[in-house]
Structure 1
Amino acid sequence: MNLFDKLNGKTIVITGASSGAGRAAAYQFAQQGAWLVLASRNEAALNEVAEECRELGANVLVVPTDVTDAKAMIALANAADNWQGKVDVWINNAGVLAAGDFDKTPMAVHKQVIEINLLGYMNGAHAILPIYKKQGYGTIINNISIGGFLPVPHGAGYTASKFALRGFSEALKGELAGWKSIYVCDLFPAFLDTPGIEHAANYTGKALKPAPPVYDPNRLAEAMIKVAANPSANTYVGSASLLLKAGHALMPELMTKLTGLFMRGYFKTAAPIELTDGNIFNTVDYGMSTHGRFGYPGKPKAHRKYIAAGLLGVASLALLAILPSSKK
């Protein structure tokens, strides 16, 4: 059975569907014949996405929703259930980033990052699970990112949310082990070419950009399609995600120091910009596309040089770490 046969007529809820990976996923699911329920804070952008998905042949319901509002998330789940009498896949995808020295970034910003990135996903799972248990099946897909394993210096609130999110999802998988047809699936993409960094709260005073390799968000959207059709507990999107996870697992202290060193080096040469709270507290009206301006869309081979260099670097560092102990 092909993907279209498995997803045609399925009800798919996507949070954070107004831009980036969520928007890319909406287009991908629309082409698979899914019935889409699109959610985010930006109603104007959602309506734009919905119209484009309808042009692709999909039926679409738009439900403007703030994921930090637990009651609004319950209303979203109920709206999806009432629309088609079922919900097949719930994709927790809405997320934000705040960059800056921890003590120079307002605590209100750190708190809101955690509210969206962690509690937003918890609100989603809390809202949809009663429906899944009643109907006896369903899939939750959590877009966590490799940030669930690799800390981001100057992004402490973001890292706290992602590490905690991975722990929450693992606990939920264990809790639902007795429900054989309810799946919790985690996605760990590497850096994506989305508008997310453009939307980020930025207290560094420097223009931000992701470290290469930067992947096309359609890679993540395709992974969502595959996991929705064939649930899998953990999926790593892009070779760099596995490399970064392995590097931190083998040499956590060294990897953390190197990441911090890299970022401080970047800040020395990056262009200055004004401080901003981005889309942390309110939606924005710019950059509401699938792609940002940083990656190599449609050219996966462009990443190979970075992967090769990264593998060589990790191997060299591992060797350096082993040699001193071998001489004792």
Structure 2
Amino acid sequence: MRKLEKLQGKTILITGASSGAGRAAALEFAKYKTNLVLASRNEEALEEVKTECEAFGAQALIVPTDTSDSKAMIALANAANDWQGKIDVWLNNAGVLAAGDFDKTPMAVHEQVIQTNLLGYMNGAHAVLPIFKAQGYGTIINNISIGGFLPVPYGAGYTAAKFGLRGWSEALKGELSEWPDIYVCDLFPAFLDTPGIQHAGNYTAKVLKPAPPVYDPFRLARAMVKVAVAPSANTYVGSVSMLLKIGHAVLPELMTQITGLVMRRYLRSADPIALTDGNVFTTVDYGLSTHGGFGLPGEPKAHRKYMAGVLVAGMALGLYLMSKKK
């Protein structure tokens, strides 16, 4: 009831709302009869999400937008503000992925990944902050992912953007400390069962899959709702997320070596696939659901989480002991 009372009638803007975590967030917020502004590059998919959200009793406005275009993001913010006369929550979520050896992946691809994943979030905040300051309140939610702490070998552009996001957001929090009712909230989920990896630019020539355990995107969506109601500077979604952060903080070199080793071993045995730009430059017409089909929908089972933690810790300890023997 508390969430319904606090969220009903609020204007929530979500980028990347056409699939995956963004679509899940739209459906979750819709349950509280919010006013939803849905943005992504795929207008047809947004129309579907709009219909689904309205079935929950929410109002929805769709605004096809490329987040890497700063002028388009200003237009998005203005459209939302004109629609309801306010924006309560701006959810930066849109992102793309490209996988491959750094030197074999075109620089244009690395640049676009950074344009979308880093500058897209900055464009969003830059567009909405004048509105928040004028109205005296507002919440920016950044879906950063554990990739903000843990490097992703063979995803160097993605890692550059995510590390940059974390630093930019920390700087913004300090800058906005004189505005007590404007919040910047960062979310760090572990690996999600979304179609995002199916959309990835793929220069590995191998089928890509997320590393287990894979979390339900609705778990992240519920965390987004919780943060919208009670803002929190940093939220880790899933115990594996915190485990990976701590592991890299304690043994950064070894954790980086482990991630590289795991990726190489996987790519050696993965099935072949044609090279593709995926959705890096343009939207795609496949994989537009909330889930990607990589795991069972629902809450992750506790034993999977703890087994994964033991596995990562054991690998780190093993490599550490081996290095000490040399």
Give yes or no for TM over 0.5.
yes
Which residues in structure 2 correspond to 1:18-97 (within 5 Å)? 18-97=18-97
How many pairs were matched up? 325
Gap regions ≥5 residues in structure 2:
none
Contact 2:258–2:315, Cα closer than 8 Å, also in 1: no
Query: Aligned partners of 1:90, 1:223: CA distance in 2, in Å?
Result: 15
Is residue 317 of structure 1 aligned with residue 316 of structure 2?
A: yes
Q: For 1:4-55, what per-residue CA distance to the aligned partner results, in whole angstroms no more than 9, with x for missing partners?
A: 1110000000000000000000000100111000000000000110011111
Query: Aligned partners of 2:315, 2:206: CA distance in 1, in Å?
Result: 31
Is residue 117 of structure 1 aligned with residue 117 of structure 2?
A: yes
Query: Aligned partners of 2:270, 2:315: CA distance in 1, in Å?
Result: 28
1:236 alignment partner, SS class = strand
Aligned-CA RMSD value: 1.6
The Cα of 1:323 is off from its aligned counterpart by 10
Contact 2:33–2:58, Cα closer than 8 Å, also in 1: yes
Q: For 1:250-280, what per-residue CA distance to the aligned partner results, in whole angstroms no more than 9, with x for missing partners?
A: 1000000010000100011100000000000
Structure 2 match to 1:273: 273
Structure 1 match to 2:304: 305
The Cα of 1:319 is off from its aligned counterpart by 8.0
Is residue 182 of structure 1 aligned with residue 182 of structure 2?
A: yes
The Cα of 1:322 is off from its aligned counterpart by 7.6
Structure 2 match to 1:205: 205
Structure 1 match to 2:102: 102
Distance 1:111 1:320, change over 3 A: closer
Query: Aligned partners of 2:3, 2:305: CA distance in 1, in Å?
Result: 31
The Cα of 1:296 is off from its aligned counterpart by 2.2
Q: For 1:135-180, what per-residue CA distance to the aligned partner results, in whole angstroms no more than 9, with x for missing partners?
A: 0000000000000000000000000000000000000000000100
Contact 1:205–1:273, Cα closer than 8 Å, also in 2: yes
Contact 1:251–1:318, Cα closer than 8 Å, also in 2: no
Query: Aligned partners of 1:154, 1:275: CA distance in 2, in Å?
Result: 14
TM-score, with normalisation over the residues of structure 2? 0.96
2:120 alignment partner, SS class = helix
Structure 1 match to 2:293: 293
Contact 2:33–2:57, Cα closer than 8 Å, also in 1: yes
Contact 2:213–2:308, Cα closer than 8 Å, also in 1: no
Query: Aligned partners of 1:235, 1:225: CA distance in 2, in Å?
Result: 12
| Equivalent AA in structure 2 for residue 92 of structure 1 | N
2:277 alignment partner, SS class = coil
The Cα of 1:314 is off from its aligned counterpart by 1.4
Is residue 163 of structure 1 aligned with residue 163 of structure 2?
A: yes
Query: Aligned partners of 1:323, 1:196: CA distance in 2, in Å?
Result: 36
Gap regions ≥5 residues in structure 1:
none
Is residue 232 of structure 1 aligned with residue 217 of structure 2?
A: no
Percent identical across equivalent pairs? 72
Contact 1:243–1:311, Cα closer than 8 Å, also in 2: no
Distance 1:316 1:101, change over 3 A: closer
Query: Aligned partners of 2:123, 2:256: CA distance in 1, in Å?
Result: 31
2:224 alignment partner, SS class = helix
Please identify, of 306-315 and 60-69, the stretch whose mean Cα deviation from structure 2 is larger: 306-315
The Cα of 1:308 is off from its aligned counterpart by 2.9
Contact 1:100–1:202, Cα closer than 8 Å, also in 2: yes
Query: Aligned partners of 1:55, 1:152: CA distance in 2, in Å?
Result: 39
Query: Aligned partners of 1:109, 1:312: CA distance in 2, in Å?
Result: 33
Query: Aligned partners of 2:303, 2:257: CA distance in 1, in Å?
Result: 25
TM-score, with normalisation over the residues of structure 1? 0.96
| Equivalent AA in structure 2 for residue 97 of structure 1 | L
